[in-house]
Amino acid sequence: MALRQKIAVLIGGVGGAKLALGLANLQPTPQLTFIVNTGDDFWHLGLKICPDIDTLMYTLAGVVDPQLGWGIADDTTCVLAGLRRRYAIDTWFKLGDQDLALHLLRTEAMRGEVSLTDFTSAIARRLGITATILPMCEAEMPTTIHTRDHGEMSFQEYFVRRRWQPVIQRVRYGSRQAASVPAPVREALAKADLVMIAPSNPWLSIAPILAVPGMRELLAAASAPKVAITPVIGGDAVKGPTAKIMRELGLAVSARTVASYYDGVIDGFVDDLRNPHFSMDGLRTTRLDTLMTDLERKVAVAQDTLDWARGWVS
Amino acid sequence: MALRQKIAVLIGGVGGAKLALGLANLQPTPQLTFIVNTGDDFWHLGLKICPDIDTLMYTLAGVVDPQLGWGIADDTTCVLAGLRRRYAIDTWFKLGDQDLALHLLRTEAMRGEVSLTDFTSAIARRLGITATILPMCEAEMPTTIHTRDHGEMSFQEYFVRRRWQPVIQRVRYGSRQAASVPAPVREALAKADLVMIAPSNPWLSIAPILAVPGMRELLAAASAPKVAITPVIGGDAVKGPTAKIMRELGLAVSARTVASYYDGVIDGFVDDLRNPHFSMDGLRTTRLDTLMTDLERKVAVAQDTLDWARGWVS
């Protein structure tokens, strides 16, 4: 294994960002590439918004709102107040002014034919982030939620406006345009010493990445071990709708369900000490304390996962 | 003349807005249609910005910054601060957060194929404005400034970024797309009892309106008297670069120069008491106190101009 380990991480929003921060604080710092879900991306008030990319960037730059886990700390909402007060706009999606500044730049760049990949790299550098942050693809692949009682709705309609309360029947990952895996993602997967799947929501954050045409094949072709970390701890998700969705889809809320969901993609699984033991054919597993309550714990989960995978490979 | 007089006003930015406020405060209120210069419009940070329309709307809605004469009173600049601080963006064009809210809505509307005319009407209504505010045309007709020492530049580059300091050699009014007079403007001119040209900068604010293909012909065909109010008082402009531009173009800084510039367009001219008397063939003139220092004076100038034109027509 190379002196400076190359790690490619499939990752979503707030949950994944915790692991990302742990990885970024390892000593020595691995060469990190985050392949980020853009299924949540949407256009709002004429702005191109990429929630998962931004959450990751703000987290790694140390400017994220520590309470929310997304948005910028101590941000104001003057523009939103103006929209609501003067023009009676329904401001259900919270957009801080500092956050809006980034959306303005992104929208301008993308209208000007700059790729999301290039824009993201430039902003990450500007924010002082040394890790590489890559969108899963350039094409728009909006995740659509089919609900039991309210029909089909966009991801943000489901997740933010309705606070993930509707009962999910099916999640659809689709692209309006022809989507493909961008060259830098392809390269990162090919060169990785380790591929990780962050403990993000498998159905909402990781599945959209796996749905990019060609992504599963690239993962299968990658020589590195591919390890997922459980988002289920002690029979529940740490945060967000993961457990609720599993129940609604008729699945057992367990690490095994997650591991099965990643069948054919991963060859290693980091389970949590609190979960009941399980084994699956052809899948290496380990049981660690995966709860990431503070920076120390985030670093520990990153380090323990790496140590395990390192021992396993050598 | 109709009981409720129909007045169509060709108008630019801050200077013109003073007269607009005077007209809007007349008793009884005339039926007002403002045909607004959009030669200053530009795209900035991905936003479609219409400075003259906004200045007029904010003025008539009573929310304009009273010191600046443009922008919104007590506005914050949080987004701009974010752009400058986090992303090192050169924020030479001041955009308040409340102001930015409108630009966001406009940009979204126009990307969605709403016309500038329809968008402006909707916002004016929302701001409680009863007058009709119409852009001079739908197509983009950006005014370009040819300077002696710095070559060609966009209007905002000249006016805001360089604070109208470069010496002007020529001003060009052009359209990238095929431009024409919108139907509501056509109708307003045809039905007007009086057409006024506000005391805006003739070269920067009124000329772009006259340059819309068909506009001069429509004015010539309009049966109403067409009256301009001098922007030159006592050998200088009240504000802005009008006098400076006249000197740079080799013209005498006088009301006569302005009247000559409007030759073929107007048949009446309201001069200021402070200016030396002049007469031109075929042009009716009057001399009034045209200085609009407060609301009372704005109303007086509007009323005096109307009274003069009324007496002249009957």
First to last CA, chain B: 8
In the sheet that holds A284-288, the strands lie side by side as A132-135, A31-36, A6-11, A194-197, A226-229, A268-272, A284-288
ipTM of the complex: 0.89
pLDDT above 50 (res A311): yes
Q: What percentage of residues in chain A have a pLDDT greater than 90?
A: 87
The arithmetic mean of pLDDT across residues A191-216, rounded, is: 96
Tell which wins on pLDDT, B229 or B176.
B229
- What mean pLDDT value characterizes chain B? 94
Burial of A92 (0-12, 13-18, 19+ CB in 10 A): exposed
Inter-chain contact A101–B88, Cβ cutoff 8 Å? no
Cα gap A20→B58, rounded to integer Å:
46
Unique residue bearing structure tokens 């900068």: B201
pLDDT above 90 (res B91): no
- How many CB pairs (< 8 A) connect A and B? 83
Of A61, A78, A80, the C-alpha closest to A70 is A61
Among chain B residues, CA nearest to A112: B46
Contact list, A71 vs chain B (CB under 8 Å): none
Burial of B146 (0-12, 13-18, 19+ CB in 10 A): middle
Cα gap B130→B134, rounded to integer Å:
13
Confidence of residue B2 (pLDDT cuts 50, 70, 90): very low
Contact list, B80 vs chain A (CB under 8 Å): 101
The arithmetic mean of pLDDT across residues B233-249, rounded, is: 88
Among chain B residues, CA nearest to A126: B87
The arithmetic mean of pLDDT across residues A131-140, rounded, is: 97
pLDDT at position A4:
77
Q: Which residues of B touch A (CB under 8 A)?
A: 45-47, 76, 78-80, 82-83, 86-89, 97-98, 100-102, 104-105, 107-108, 111, 123, 126-127
pLDDT at position A3:
57
The arithmetic mean of pLDDT across residues B202-216, rounded, is: 96
Q: What is the pLDDT of residues A267-310, one digit of tens each?
A: 999 999 999 999 999 999 999 999 999 999 999 999 999 999 98
B237 sits in which H/E element: strand B236-237
Inter-chain contact B100–A82, Cβ cutoff 8 Å? yes
Contact list, A102 vs chain B (CB under 8 Å): 82, 86-87
Task: Out of A46, A88, A101, name the one closest to residue B107 (CB).
Answer: A46
- Choosing among A90, A104, A105, A113, which should be mutated to test the B contact, i.e. which has the most B CBs within 10 A? A104
Cα gap A217→B279, rounded to integer Å:
85
Of A104, A96, A93, the C-alpha closest to A79 is A96
Q: A142 preceded by cis ω (within 30°)? A: no
Inter-chain contact A82–B105, Cβ cutoff 8 Å? no
pLDDT at position B3:
56
Cα gap A140→A39, rounded to integer Å:
8
Q: What is the pLDDT of residues A99-126, one digit of tens each?
A: 999 999 999 999 999 999 999 999 999 9
Residues A206/A200, Cβ–Cβ less than 8 Å = yes
Contact list, B87 vs chain A (CB under 8 Å): 101-102, 105, 123, 126
Cα gap A94→A110, rounded to integer Å:
22
The arithmetic mean of pLDDT across residues A146-171, rounded, is: 92
pLDDT at position B237:
82
pLDDT at position B176:
67
Q: What is the pLDDT of residues A71-87, one digit of tens each?
A: 999 999 999 999 999 99
pLDDT above 50 (res B1): no
Unique residue bearing structure tokens 């599993």: A246
pLDDT above 50 (res A175): yes
Range of weakest confidence among A20-29, A169-178, B274-283: A169-178
pLDDT above 50 (res B151): yes
Cα gap A243→A259, rounded to integer Å:
14
Cα gap B29→B21, rounded to integer Å:
11
pLDDT at position B278:
94
Residues A33/A188, Cβ–Cβ less than 8 Å = yes
DSSP single-letter state for residue B202: I
Cα–Cα distances (Å) from A298 to A18, A129, A132, A270, A289, in that order, read 6, 18, 19, 14, 10
